[in-house]
Amino acid sequence: MTPAQMAAIHKQCFTTPRPWRAEEFAETLAKKFYFLLHEEQGFLIGRVIAGEAELTTIAVAPAARRQGIARRLMARFDTEMVARKAEIAHLEVALDNHAAHALYLASGWQDSCIRDNYYRHPDGHRSDAVLMMRDYGPDIF
pLDDT of residue 18: 83
CA dist 93 and 48 (Å) reads: 19
Give 125's pLDDT tier (boundaries 50, 70, 90): confident
Q: What does 4-66 look like in DSSP terms, one character per residue? A: HHHHHHHHHH-SSSPPPPHHHHHHHHHSTTEEEEEETTEEEEEEEETTEEEEEEEEE-GGGTT
| Confidence check: pLDDT of 46 > 60 | yes
- Looking at every residue in the chain, the average pLDDT score rounds to 93
Sketch out the chain's domains with CATH numbers: 3-135 (3.40.630.30)
Q: What is the pTM of this model?
A: 0.89
